[in-house]
Structure 1
Amino acid sequence: MRNLFWVALTATYPLLVYLGLAHAEPRALALLLLGLALARFLASRSQQALGLALAGLLLAALTAWSNQLLPLKLYPVAVSAALLVLFGLSLWKGPTVVERLARLQEPNLDAHGVAYTRRVTQVWCGFFVLNGSLALATALWGSDATWALYNGLISYGLMGLLMGGEWLVRRRVRAHKTAES
């Protein structure tokens, strides 16, 4: 439940920054990022959370020093980069992130399932590259409203579409495999 709270807070971060601009300068909003990054680290204490906490600390410090909004807008880029590293390293070291998640429901995953989860992990890596690139583009060249809309809504919709699409593909693959058996 505690992790769900931090995920929800992270998801609303772009909206909170956008709305906060009407009431505070970027320097004050840096405290939001600093608090979010540190709280997420304390909640999970993983290497990924530490990396994001350090990125959040650096971006918050840059914002506090410059009083510019850009460093705050780069946090979604850092999140996509961290997820890309997490999923990408799992392709190299194994088992993949998706395989680990699949084994929670199906501990005796067969070779076909392992290959499938590897492919899904590769697709997620591609998604994180695309999402991070779009997050960067909106931070550098988009308006504040465009940045908040993409990073606070559209990117999550795209993630949901990818998850839903993968679920449909997985059902089809399983049905095909069952028919072959």
Structure 2
Amino acid sequence: MLKAVLVALAALYPLVLAFGQSWIAPRWMALGLAGVALLRCVLERGRGLSALWALGALALAAFAWAGNSVAPLKLYPILVNAVLLLVFGASLAHPPSVVERLARLQDPALPDAAIPYVRRVTEVWCVFFVLNGAISAATALWASDALWALYNGCIAYVAIGLLFGIEWCVRQRAMRRVSGV
């Protein structure tokens, strides 16, 4: 249950930050981010991805606390994209890829013919994380708080959903081709 709350907080982070900064000083919002990062790190036992993410979140929180500034807190979506890019990219260098691992959860007997496809999908996600992170950076540095919140709290999630949906449709066609149906 606690993990689900933390995931929800992470997803709602841009909206919480955008609306919360009207009532709460950035220093205290930074403390909230640090608390969530530490709690998640403890729950995940400080392993791999959660430790890397927590270190980045704690660094952003420390800068925000020190300067009582919201600017470092707006960099959080960039951190998330960077960590995901690192994980997906590393899986390309050290297979199986993330998408292959996910595909094998659904079909443990994934045919060898599907491996190039799932590798390509992992590459597409890497490109997505680069582009999404760049747009997140641009909104954090040059856009209004409202546009930053709109992109990072809504549009980015729609883009993720579209990529999932498009990939699902392409996969159905690719699997039909592989199976000869």
| Aligned counterparts of 1:4 and 1:176: Cα–Cα separation in 2 | 38
The letter of the residue matching 1:68 is S
Structure 2 residue 113 is matched with structure 1 residue 126: no
Partner SS for 1:10: helix
Q: Hey, what's the Cα distance between the residues in 2 that align with 1:121 and 1:129?
A: 13
Tell me which moved more, 49-58 or 27-36: 27-36
Percent identical residues: 51
Number of equivalenced pairs: 180
CA 1:5–1:24: 2 relative to 1, 3 Å? closer
1:53: Cα distance to partner?
A: 0.5
Aligned to 1:40: 40
SS at match of 1:74: helix
Which SS does the other structure have where 2:66 is aligned? helix
Q: CA RMSD in A?
A: 1.3
Q: What letter corresponds to residue 15 of structure 1 in structure 2? A: L
Residue 175 (str. 1) matches residue 153 (str. 2): no
- Contact 2:113–2:178 (8 Å) recurs in 1: no
Partner of 1:21: 21
Q: 1:39, CA displacement in angstroms?
A: 2.4
Structure 1 segment 1-181 matched on structure 2, within 5 A: 2-45=2-45, 46-179=47-180
Q: Which amino acid aligns with 1:14?
A: P
Query: CA separation in 1, counterparts of 2:94 and 2:4?
Result: 28
Q: What TM-score results when the alignment is normalised by the length of structure 2?
A: 0.95
Aligned counterparts of 2:150 and 2:52: Cα–Cα separation in 1? 25
**TM-aligned CA deviation for residue 57 of structure 1:** 0.7
**1:2, distance to aligned residue in structure 2 (A):** 4.4
Where does the alignment leave 5 or more consecutive residues of structure 1 unmatched? Answer: none
Q: Which runs of 5+ in 2 are unaligned?
A: none
Q: Distance in 1 between matches of 2:11 and 2:85?
A: 17
